[in-house]
Amino acid sequence: MNRSLILGADVGGTYVKYVLGDGDEPGRWTGEVPSDPASPATTFGRLAARVAELLPPAAGIGAAGLACAGIVDVRTGRLGRTPNLPGWEGADLAGLMGIAFPGAAIALANDVNAALAGEARFGAGRNGSDLVMLALGTGVGGAVMIEGRLLAGHRFGAGEIGHTILDVAGPPCNCGNRGCLEAYAGSRGLLAAARRRAAAPDCSPGLRALVAERGDLLTTRDLADLATVSDLAAADRDAAALFREAGERLGQAVGNLLNVLDPDRVIIGGGVAAAGELLLGPCREAAARIVLCEAARSTPIVPAQLGSAAAAFGAAHLAAIHLAAAAPRERS
Amino acid sequence: MNRSLILGADVGGTYVKYVLGDGDEPGRWTGEVPSDPASPATTFGRLAARVAELLPPAAGIGAAGLACAGIVDVRTGRLGRTPNLPGWEGADLAGLMGIAFPGAAIALANDVNAALAGEARFGAGRNGSDLVMLALGTGVGGAVMIEGRLLAGHRFGAGEIGHTILDVAGPPCNCGNRGCLEAYAGSRGLLAAARRRAAAPDCSPGLRALVAERGDLLTTRDLADLATVSDLAAADRDAAALFREAGERLGQAVGNLLNVLDPDRVIIGGGVAAAGELLLGPCREAAARIVLCEAARSTPIVPAQLGSAAAAFGAAHLAAIHLAAAAPRERS
């Protein structure tokens, strides 16, 4: 067994992304294997087979970290509610990973927590110890790091920043409430806002045409392209306004977090964040208006750097930490 | 010097409340001395003179903790912005306390942080390590404890929960923004809402009469008495509704915090919290509706237990911790 080899894996509904390497080069091998939404054991078997292909015969790995969407109970190693992996609920993730990778130290984390761990070690959070991350995907995930440690919460319910309510009379959210951050800054919410705007009689022709043309295939990328490319044309006005409104709501949520936690910096990732300054500019302005502590008003609000690999890198990093903590005991 | 004797002091604009005792009986002596809003040195001199009166001649104390409103830089020992003690801004609190209590270990904290430390050790937070406290006074202060440690924030700006924005179009707050928690659940905001309600044509006769009669002397206690005493009479309807609305907004803020931090429990203190279930009932219902993690929906939201003595007790406790941490080094 090569104890310096560390695996990090991020399970999604379709694929498991993995990184495999060591401290010098954590991403020496990267790739993905299909995930089986009905069976974690089958999925981990595929992952173990891939790792065996990459390594010399009979070589093992020192540690494996697994990132998974949903409520991950890091004390018991079990998975709770996880909407995109229905067959995985209640699974003993730590036990199954231990069977797939015998002898390896196993670490588990919620996927957004793992992404923050990855950004903190290798990306936008380097040299920071008190960090907040928001991942703007279909929904909005969140994670909090305090003094270098991820905050899981007393009942593993921390980091649900996407469901902080910004306006009790706001647009409906997938969770059943109204006015959650997710309803404004997740792609589902942003696309719904675009369709509402396109239906209004005074909508810009560009946005109306885009929404009609793309139909169900409309993406936030389409909207960002419309807002950016036709920068000075009348057509882009409403597309830019959509990002400005989402950015201002994101800024309200971030400003609230700065008032509560006063972290080193805030990292914004996920597909919607690819809109860049269209979203982050209004976000920074709105957040600065809210923060009471003068010194905290200029807290950096920065884009994530590792993209969709963040959680796999973070899982590898958490596994390496776990291995280092376990090693002295094993040697004694 | 009696190293087991610990002083805790909480500086307000008018008085310094103190507790003096030891581990068995931290509040053996309690009382207050006038504070000098222009001079921390004069104030600490009065406090030292009082301590000298209480103790045998030539006896000293082992540690002294000081709680102070405003931005307390616990690294440098200096005080930043502090609206109620204008002459204290920039003061070297740690240095001045060291002169007043020679040889004592000195600990400093923001007043709401100290109150949370007090509740955590002696009051509503006993046996909890991940706690959030809201102090509903004229304004609304907040404090966060993670794994037994108070969260100061990267720039000493954490805990400003009173200025998280619940509705960008809400009532004006003293900070210049709109819709802060403080604008709903601080006494200034609640009394403003009562006066707005009393001016409406359909206001209940009881509330209208109370507001007219008490004028500038109106308190949230008056409102709570009206809502409670005349429990079944038509007159109380609007007074109870004021607390229900404030409680629902408090619940929105608490629910948001539960989604971010998932603490053991949440402690609600301050004068407005004396309204008890009038406020806490609607708060608990609103918070439970917001929390995404099912297990966290029933997180206890409890009243504070130490009243206005919490910060002095907490300062004493922080001083005792500081002394215990310093002692091994001093002995070696």
- Model pLDDT, residue A122: 95
User: Per residue in B125-169, pLDDT tens?
Assistant: 999 999 999 999 999 999 999 999 999 999 999 999 999 999 999
Task: Indicate the angle between helix axes B205-214 and B237-261, nearest 10 degrees.
Answer: 90
pLDDT over threshold 70, residue B234: no
Q: For residue A60, what pLDDT band results from cuts at 50, 70 and 90?
A: confident
Model pTM score: 0.93
Q: Tell me: the pLDDT tens digits for A272-304?
A: 999 999 999 999 999 999 999 889 999 999 999
The Cα of B231 is separated from the nearest Cα of chain A by a number of Å equal to 29
Specify the pLDDT at position B62: 95
The pLDDT value given to residue B191: 97
Please determine, for residue B231, whether its predicted confidence score (pLDDT) is greater than 60.
Answer: no
Please judge whether A255 and B296 are an interchain contact, meaning their C-beta atoms are less than 8 angstroms apart: no
Dump pLDDT digits (tens) for A103-118: 999 999 999 999 999 9
Please report the DSSP string for A255-282 in residue order.
HHHHHHH--SEEEEESGGGGGTHHHHHH
Q: Which residue has the higher pLDDT, B234 or B259?
A: B259
Contact between residue B323 and residue B105 where contact means Cβ atoms under 8 Å apart: yes
Buried/exposed code over B32-63 (b: 16+ C-beta within 10 A; e: otherwise): bbebbbeebeebbbebbebbeeebeeeeebbb
Which of the two residues, B227 and B246, has the higher pLDDT score? B246
- Between CA B200 and CA B212 the distance in angstroms is 13
- What does the pLDDT read at residue A327? 67
**Is 70 exceeded by the pLDDT of residue B17?**
yes
* DSSP state string for B144-200: EEETTEE---TTS-TT-GGG-BS-TTS-B-TTS-BSBHHHHHSHHHHHHHHHHHHTS
SS (H, E, C) B199-224: CCCCCCHHHHHHHHHHHHHCCHHHHH
pLDDT of residue A332: 38
Average pLDDT value over all residues in chain B? 92
Q: Which domains, from first to last, does chain A contain?
A: 2-118+308-331 (3.30.420.40), 128-304 (3.30.420.40)
pLDDT for the residue B281:
97
- pLDDT tens digit sequence for B51-106: 999 998 777 899 999 999 888 888 899 998 777 788 899 999 999 999 999 999 99
Please name the helix (run of DSSP H) or strand (run of DSSP E) that holds residue B87, with its range, or none.
Answer: none
Binding-face residues of B in 174-193 toward A, CB within 8 A: 175, 177
Distance from B134 to chain A by nearest Cα, in Å? 11
**Cross-chain Cβ contact A160/B299 below 8 Å:** no
Report the SS3 class of residue B83. Answer: coil
* 3-class DSSP state of A284: helix
Average pLDDT over residues B201-220: 95
pLDDT, tens digit (0-9, with 9 covering 90-100), for A144-154: 999 999 999 99
Question: What b-and-e string marks burial along A279-290, b requiring 16 or more CB atoms within 10 Å of the CB?
Answer: bbebbbebbbbb
Tell me the per-residue pLDDT of A205-250, one tens digit each, with 9 for 90 and over: 999 999 999 999 999 999 999 998 655 555 578 999 999 999 999 9
Q: Is the Cβ of B41 closer than 8 Å to some Cβ of chain A?
A: no
The percent of residues above 90 in pLDDT, for chain B, comes to: 82
pLDDT 10s digits, A152-188: 999 999 999 999 999 999 999 989 999 999 999 999 9
Six token digits for residue B72: 């307390």
**Nearest chain B Cα to A174, which residue?**
B292
Mean of pLDDT values over B189-204? 96
Residue-wise pLDDT for A22-48, tens only, equals 988 999 999 999 999 899 999 999 999
- pLDDT-wise least confident of A123-132, B169-178, B227-236, B254-263: B227-236
Yes or no, beta carbons of A262 and B289 under 8 Å apart: no
- The predicted complex's ipTM stands at 0.92
Question: What is the per-residue pLDDT for A331?
Answer: 44
Cα(first)–Cα(last) distance of chain A, in Å? 19
| B332 pLDDT higher than 50 | no
Interface test with B, best of A260, A261, A264, A299 (most B CBs within 10 A): A260
pLDDT band at B172 (very low <50, low <70, confident <90, very high): very high
